[in-house]
Structure 1
Amino acid sequence: MNTHAWIVFLDESGVSLLPQIRRTYSPRGRTPLLRHRLNWKRASMAGALGYHSTDPDRGARLCFHLKPGSYDTAALIEVLEQMKVFYRGERVVLVWDGLSAHWSRAMRAWVAEQDWLTLERLPAYAPELNPVELLWSSLKKRELANLAGDHLADVADATERGIHRINANPRLPWSFLAHTGLTIRPPHPPNLRKDQ
């Protein structure tokens, strides 16, 4: 593994116009009501949280993508092409789960042509090791909570506000990583005596 690379965790999540029901405060005896037309339109989000392997002062980087429908290999390759621009061609070690679109023949062929990208697979059934899961949780508990929008644009606007909130707090993406129990520590050369 290249030690001068960004370690980037990527994950996808679905959202729909059905409200994410969360508890809320209201005066006693006045139960709040959510009124919604039960529109089943769905969108998918892809989030990539990056941490530099040798220079934590470069901060964490959040790359985000939202599209109607769901992701397949071709759509994920588009996301990765945008990520290449986002990281300006710097080396990236991408860590993601075993979704079939992540490891399809077409994806592996495309990755083989990329000199900036290395893929690593998360262990099976271990979403708790992906800090992007905490990103989704944060968005769904705040900006998307109880949102009864009429159009996918309402969901997109709320999600964008959440991404701006997370980007405005440089400690939040690091807290997502800390919650997984994983750490990224820059390597330190061992103290060598001159007579060795």
Structure 2
Amino acid sequence: MLDDAAARTWSRRGHTPITRVRGRSRRRLSVAALVCYKPGQRSRLVYRPAPDRRTDGRKSFAWTGYQDLVSVVHTQLGGPIVLVWDNLNTHLTAGMKQYIAARDWLTIYQLPACAPQLNPIEGIWPLIRRNLANTAFADPEHPIATIRQELRAIQYRSWLIDIAQAGTGLILTTSPFEPQ
């Protein structure tokens, strides 16, 4: 599930294919994403990209970015959230803990350390990498646009999100907040 995508190409026998690249780019794109499940509704993928153009010099999400993402998901789902996430250091900051403590609609469960196979979002990234294999990007904006396009395509195919969840081996039950 977490392996890199295999890519293939072709050429005449005995001639190694060579791809010419016009320049170098150290552009980076961080993506924070949540896989959302609500009983009786289709699975959802909510994501926020953060290109490397930020003025604060940070190259990844700060805890405030995750706070904004959780708030957006709460608004979209319109109900309490049970959030299961990994032990990323940004998830464990004091500011994030204060944010969580101040929200009665938010319950957090931490995954065990070094257990990415239990995180459904980890099943989404190979789908994106598979579609990016053997792609020669024309400019620094091209990979960013392509990744957004791939994420948007997955959003409309909820069965892919369900497969990523099934790959964890975790079983979804009804929400503890719904009447039985």
Q: 158, 163, 175: which one pairs with 1:170?
A: 158
Q: Give yes or no for the alignment of 1:184 onto 2:179.
A: no
Structure 1 runs (4+) deviating above 4 angstroms are: none
Given that 1:34 and 1:146 are in contact with CA atoms closer than 8 Å, whether structure 2 keeps it comes out as no
Structure 2 residue 12 is matched with structure 1 residue 24: no
Q: Is contact 2:7–2:130 with CA below 8 Å preserved after alignment?
A: no
Match in the other structure for 1:48: 34
3-state SS of paired residue (1:180): coil
- 1:39-78 equivalences under 5 Å are 39-52=25-38, 55=39, 57-68=40-51, 69-78=59-68
* 1:146-157 → structure 2 map (5 Å cutoff): 146-149=134-137, 150-151=139-140, 153-157=141-145
* CA deviation string 1:6-44 (max 9, x = no partner): xxxxxxxxxxxxxx9852232443543333323112110
What SS is found at the alignment partner of 1:58? coil
The Cα shift of 1:48 comes to 0.6
Using structure 2 for the length normalisation, give the TM-score.
0.80
* Alignment partners' CA distance in 2, 1:113 and 1:124: 25
C-alpha contact 1:22 1:146 (8 A) present in aligned 2: no
Q: Which runs of 5+ in 1 are unaligned?
A: 1-19, 188-196
| Residues 1:107 and 2:96 are matched in the alignment | yes
Say if 2:66 is the partner of 1:82.
no
Q: Is contact 2:32-2:48 (8 Å) kept?
A: yes
Sort the Cα spacing of 1:67 and 1:140 in 2 relative to 1 into closer, same or farther, 3 A: same
CA shift digits 1:104-145 (9 cap, x unpaired): 111011111222211110011000001101101110111x22
TM-score (norm 1): 0.74
> What secondary structure, in the 3-state scheme, does the structure 1 residue paired with 2:10 have?
coil
- 8 Å Cα contact 2:44/2:158 also seen in 1: no
Across the aligned residues of Structure 1 and Structure 2, the Cα RMSD in angstroms comes to: 2.1
Q: Indicate the structure with greater strand content.
A: 1
CA distance in 2, matches of 1:154, 1:66: 14
- Paired residue type of 1:59: R
- Comparing 124-133 with 73-82, which one deviates more in the overlay? 73-82
Contact 2:5 2:126 in 1 (8 A): no
1:63-114 alpha-carbon deviations (Å, 9 max, x no partner): 01100221121222222222222223x1111111111210111101111122
The residue identity in structure 2 corresponding to 1:26 is: W
Instruction: Map Cα deviations across residues 141-172 of structure 1 (whole Å, 9 max, x no partner).
Output: 11x22333321x31222112212322232211
Q: Give the percent of matched residue pairs that are identical in Structure 1 and Structure 2.
A: 28
